[in-house]
Structure formats: structure tokens, C-alpha cells
């Protein structure tokens, strides 16, 4: 049922979950307004003197006042073409061939293959395709129509592949960084590499995101990314492959709340009693996490002990009602991972971070249906990881790619 309505209305709620009085669009009463800030840099000053009065033709005016406006516009964009002459010769001392180089070079090819896109143009193409989610053809169309740069989808694919090779060290550094963090969020979704049967994994924390495209949804991928001795907390949903993958885990409260909500819909009394008590337990744990910075250690320990006692009461005794028992079994299985987030300041109760970082990939999958080849998938995981990480760190993905694209970058 969800799949049937997702294409036409991906965010549509079921009728019984829609608010009876939905919120009105626009800002709420009392919310401060917003306007475009005044530019800090002025590139051109233009003064427009008064002409004849449009009503009577008069030319005398009393006490004119100055009316200032600031117009931000984009000038017409034309490619900046550089004819680059370098020299190649044989060293008379060592008899080796040497060649002069320039920072704009992205390749040593000459002759028929001697016309190249520069590093900034390549970086812009990578940004449009991997960071902004345009398809290959639409990326080429934007470059052609808006910037006057002609590039075919095949040429773009090859160029992005070469950029991925240059950015491979940064991709590996992101993976190494994740293995040293206090907490990592993980999620996965189906992927397409010339056909079904592939999976896109995401591993992320506040300052980095690492994508992996693999033909497996098994625990081996978790160990390949994080290592078998990862000491931090792995935050995930309740997929079985995560069970036992790392010693310290936190299971997503959003998924727990969803399971309880769906159980209440099937419950003969709409969840009154046991299911409401489970919901209250989860909410109390979340409230304690929020209040922890303001509570002393003794008070935190007291409330934590109360949560553990309530959890034991709710989860140890089997329930006769099927929907209640399903929730009890779910939480009992994850009993050791229920309150981990209360012991680690960097750990959240939900896996929302991983799901947010996975969402752009899901949209890209709708547009391009994944990748056609394993090489394309490898290019995607590298460039998408670097793009997402740059966004998290408030750094320029275009500048990062442009630096890597230069021939002298290695």
C-alpha cells in the first residue's frame, strides 16, 4: 500500500493520521519577518538623475531625496578559454623527458584530445550531478545552456570517474575518521547497478558521511567499514545484520515508536494500558536525555534506575494480546540497546541522521535508477561521500573538487 502511493505522493499520510484542522501555510503570527540582507560588497555605483516631470514636463524640483536600492544579478556567463602552450624537451643531463605544467591543466593530452574542461568547470559538473542530484543529461544541459560548455553524458561519466580517482584518498580518510568516532549512524537501502540486488549503505556522524555501494546486505559490510573492533556506539534500526556487529549499540527510537503506533492501531482497545505504558517509557527516556545537562549525577542515576525498573516490569512478562506481545518481543530483543544513548553524550536516541543522509541518495535513485556499472557505483560513492561531508563541514565541494582536478594535485 505504501509503495502504491509513494510515486504520486511520497509524503502522503493515511486519512486517519491527517490532522482534522491542518496548519495554514506561511509563517505563524508573531514570527519575525525576513528580507534579503544588504550586500556587503558593491561592484558598481549607478546614479540616475531626475529627468523632466512625466506629468507636466517641468524641470524644477524641491528638495530631492536619495532613494537607494541594491540589485544582485548574475552577469552573462561565457566560457573563459585559455590557450595553454607548454614545452616538452629532453634533459641534456639525465636524458629524461620533461614538460612544463600549469595549474589549469587537468590532463597531458594534446592534439585531437587537447581540448579540456578546466578544474572549476569539472567541479561544477560534479556538484550538479552528485551534490545537487541532476541526471547526467540534465547536467550536460545546464553546462551547455547556462555556461556555454558542450559535454556529452559519456564524456561527463568519464570525467567524473577520473575525479573519483583523484578524490579516493579523501574518501578513504572519511572512512578512517568514522572508525575513530564516539558514535556512528548507519542505514541502508536497495540500489541498482545494471540491475537489482545491490545495496547502498550510509555511515555518518555530525561531521562526515561515508557511502558504500555493495552487492550485500550482510554484516560483513559493517565490519569492512567500521572494523571488527569498533569501540564507539553504532546507532541503527533493528535490522538483524546489526545484531552483534559491534559491542555498543543504540536502536532507533523512531522505529520503536512506529512499531508501538502500528500495534495500537491493531489493538482492540487502541493500545490503552500496556502499549501506552511502553510509549510513556520511551518518552521518559528521551526527556531524561534532554534534561541530563541540567541534572546532577545522583538525580540522573536515580531516574535511570527508575527507567530500568519500569522496562523490566514491562518486558519480562509475556503478553496474551498479539500486538502487545509483538512490541514486547521487539524491545526485549533490543533490551541491552534500549538506553545506551543515556550513557554517551554524543549518541542520539534516533537514527534520523543516517536517514537524512540517505534521503538524497533515494531521490537520486528515482532520477537515475542507480548506476549502470560497478565503476559508476564506485564513482558515485566517492563523490557523494565527499559532497555530503563538505556540506556538513560548511566547506565548498566545488573548491575541493577543483583542487583535486588539477594535474599537479597528484
Provide the residue range defining the domain that includes 271: 253-342
Geometric angle at alpha carbon 222, from 262 and 245, rounded to 5°: 70
- pLDDT above 80 for 10: no
**In this model, does residue 113 exceed pLDDT 80?**
no
This prediction has a pTM of: 0.86
Are 202 and 210 within 8 A, CB to CB? yes
Q: Are 115 and 230 found together in one domain?
A: no
Sign of the CA dihedral with 242 first, then 175, 254, and 336 last: positive
Angle at 109 between CA 162 and CA 387, to 5 degrees: 20
pLDDT greater at residue 63 or residue 177: 177
pLDDT average, residue stretch 358-369:
90
Work out the pLDDT band at 12, boundaries 50, 70, 90: low
Residue 162, pLDDT score: 95
Q: In this predicted structure, what is the pLDDT of residue 5?
A: 52
Instruction: Mark whether 245 and 260 lie in a shared domain.
Output: no
Q: What pLDDT is recorded for position 33?
A: 82
Residue at which a domain ends, from 110, 139, 164: 164
Task: Report pLDDT for 71.
Answer: 92
Which residue would you say has higher pLDDT here, 73 or 5?
73
Q: What is the mean pLDDT of residues 39-50?
A: 93
pLDDT higher than threshold 90 for residue 186:
yes
**Do 250 and 234 meet the contact criterion of CB atoms below 8 Å apart?**
yes
Q: In this predicted structure, what is the pLDDT of residue 109?
A: 84
Whether residues 239 and 376 share a domain: the answer is yes
Look at residue 117 and tell me if it is in a domain. Answer: yes
Where among 164, 190, 216 does a domain terminate? Answer: 164
Which of 263, 264, 305, 258 lies closest to 284, judged by CA? 305
Same domain, 308 and 385: no
Cα 167 to Cα 380: distance, rounded to the nearest angstrom: 11
Using pLDDT thresholds of 50, 70 and 90, give the confidence band for residue 394: very high
Instruction: Please check whether residue 44 lies inside any domain of the structure.
Output: no
Let me know if residue 174 belongs to a domain: no
pLDDT score, position 30: 85
Average the pLDDT over 307-332 and give the result: 94
Q: What is the pLDDT of residue 297?
A: 92
Domain contains 64: no
User: Given a cut of 80, is residue 9 above it in pLDDT?
Assistant: no
Q: Is there a single domain that holds both residue 293 and residue 357?
A: no
- Percent of the chain past pLDDT 90, that is, above it, reads 78
CATH code where residue 387 lies: 3.30.420.10
| Average pLDDT value over all residues in the chain | 91
Lowest-confidence segment of 44-48, 73-77, 202-206, 373-377 by average pLDDT: 73-77
Query: Domain check: are 108 and 184 in the same one?
Result: no
The confidence score (pLDDT) of residue 7 equals 52
Better-scored residue on pLDDT, 368 or 96: 96
313 lies in the same domain as 268: yes
Confirm whether 79 is domain-assigned: no
**Among the listed ranges 115-119, 143-147, 219-223, 275-279, which one has the minimum average pLDDT value?**
115-119
Burial-class residue 71 by CB neighbours within 10 Å (0-12, 13-18, 19+).
Answer: exposed
In this structure, is residue 128 part of a structural domain?
yes
The domain boundary residue, chosen from 140, 164, 188: 164
Whether residue 410 is predicted with pLDDT greater than 60 in this model: the reply is no
pLDDT in tens, 230-245: 999 999 999 999 998 9
Residues 290, 145, single domain; the answer is no
pLDDT-derived band at 107, boundaries 50, 70, 90 = confident
What is the number of other CB atoms lying within 10 angstroms of the CB of residue 155?
A: 14
Residue 222's nearest CA partner among 190, 249, 197, 195 is: 249
The pLDDT value given to residue 19: 66
Which one is predicted more confidently, 6 or 41?
41
C-alpha to C-alpha distance for 236 and 242, rounded to whole angstroms: 8
pLDDT at 23: 74
> Are residue 228 and residue 370 in the same domain, yes or no?
yes
Of the two residues 171 and 24, the one the predictor is more confident about is 171
Domain count, the chain: 3
Task: pLDDT band for 103, please (50, 70, 90 cuts).
Answer: confident
Share above pLDDT 70 across residues of the chain, in percent, rounded to a whole number = 94
- Residue 121 within a domain: yes
Q: Is residue 58 part of a domain?
A: no
From residue 36, give the alpha-carbon distance in Å to each of 39, 71, 72, 339: 9, 11, 10, 45
Same domain assignment for residues 230 and 369: yes
Q: Is the pLDDT of residue 72 over 60?
A: yes
What average pLDDT score do residues 256-284 get? 89
Identify whether residues 152 and 232 lie together within a single domain.
no
Which whole number is the average pLDDT over 22-44? 85
Q: In what order do the strands lie in the sheet with 233-236?
A: 208-214, 198-205, 183-191, 233-236, 248-251
pLDDT at 190 over 90: yes
Q: Are residues 287 and 331 in the same domain?
A: yes
Mean pLDDT for 331-342 is 95
Amino acid at each position: 500500500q505504501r509503495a502504491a502511493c509513494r510515486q504520486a505522493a511520497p509524503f502522503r499520510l493515511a486519512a486517519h493520521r491527517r490532522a482534522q484542522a491542518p496548519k495554514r501555510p506561511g509563517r505563524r503570527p508573531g514570527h519575525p519577518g525576513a528580507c534579503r540582507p544588504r550586500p556587503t560588497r558593491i561592484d558598481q555605483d549607478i546614479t540616475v538623475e531626475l529627468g523632466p516631470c512625466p506629468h507636466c514636463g517641468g524641470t524644477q524640483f524641491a528638495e530631492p531625496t536619495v532613494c537607494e536600492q541594491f540589485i544582485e544579478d548574475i552577469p552573462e556567463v561565457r566560457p573563459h578559454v585559455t590557450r595553454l602552450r607548454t614545452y616538452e624537451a629532453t634533459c641534456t643531463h639525465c636524458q629524461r623527458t620533461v614538460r612544463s605544467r600549469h595549474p589549469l591543466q587537468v590532463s597531458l593530452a594534446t592534439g585531437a584530445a587537447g581540448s579540456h574542461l578546466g578544474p572549476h568547470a569539472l567541479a561544477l559538473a560534479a556538484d550538479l550531478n552528485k551534490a545537487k542530484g541532476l541526471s547526467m543529461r540534465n547536467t550536460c544541459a545546464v553546462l551547455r545552456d547556462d555556461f556555454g560548455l558542450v559535454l556529452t553524458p559519456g564524456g561527463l561519466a568519464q570525467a567524473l570517474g577520473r575525479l573519483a580517482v583523484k578524490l579516493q584518498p579523501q574518501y578513504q580518510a572519511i572512512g578512517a575518521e568514522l572508525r575513530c568516532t564516539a558514535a556512528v549512524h548507519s542505514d541502508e537501502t536497495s540500489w541498482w547497478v545494471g540491475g537489482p540486488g545491490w545495496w547502498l549503505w550510509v555511515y555518518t556522524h555530525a561531521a562526515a558521511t561515508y557511502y558504500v555501494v555493495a552487492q550485500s546486505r550482510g554484516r560483513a559490510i559493517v565490519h569492512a567499514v567500521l572494523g571488527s573492533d569498533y569501540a564507539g556506539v553504532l546507532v541503527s534500526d533493528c535490522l538483524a545484520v546489526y545484531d552483534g556487529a559491534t559491542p555498543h549499540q543504540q536502536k532507533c527510537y523512531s522505529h520503536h515508536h512506529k512499531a508501538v503506533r502500528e500495534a495500537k492501531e491493531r489493538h482492540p482497545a487502541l493500545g490503552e494500558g500496556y502499549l501506552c505504558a511502553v510509549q510513556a517509557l520511551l518518552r521518559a527516556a528521551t526527556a531524561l536525555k534532554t534534561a541530563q545537562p541540567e541534572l546532577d549525577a545522583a538525580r540522573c542515576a536515580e531516574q535511570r534506575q527508575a527507567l530500568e525498573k519500569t522496562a523490566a516490569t514491562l518486558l519480562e512478562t509475556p503478553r496474551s494480546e498479539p500486538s502487545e506481545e509483538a512490541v514486547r518481543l521487539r524491545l526485549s530483543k533490543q533490551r541491552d540497546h534500549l538506553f545506551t544513548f543515556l550513557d554517551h553524550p554524543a549518541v542520539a536516541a534516533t537514527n534520523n541522521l543516517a536517514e537524512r543522509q540517505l534521503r538524497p541518495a533515494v531521490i537520486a535513485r528515482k532520477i537515475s535508477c542507480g548506476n549502470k556499472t560497478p565503476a559508476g557505483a564506485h564513482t558515485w560513492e566517492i563523490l557523494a561521500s565527499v559532497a555530503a561531508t563538505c556540506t556538513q563541514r560548511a566547506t565548498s565541494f566545488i573548491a575541493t573538487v577543483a583542487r583535486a582536478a588539477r594535474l599537479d594535485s597528484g
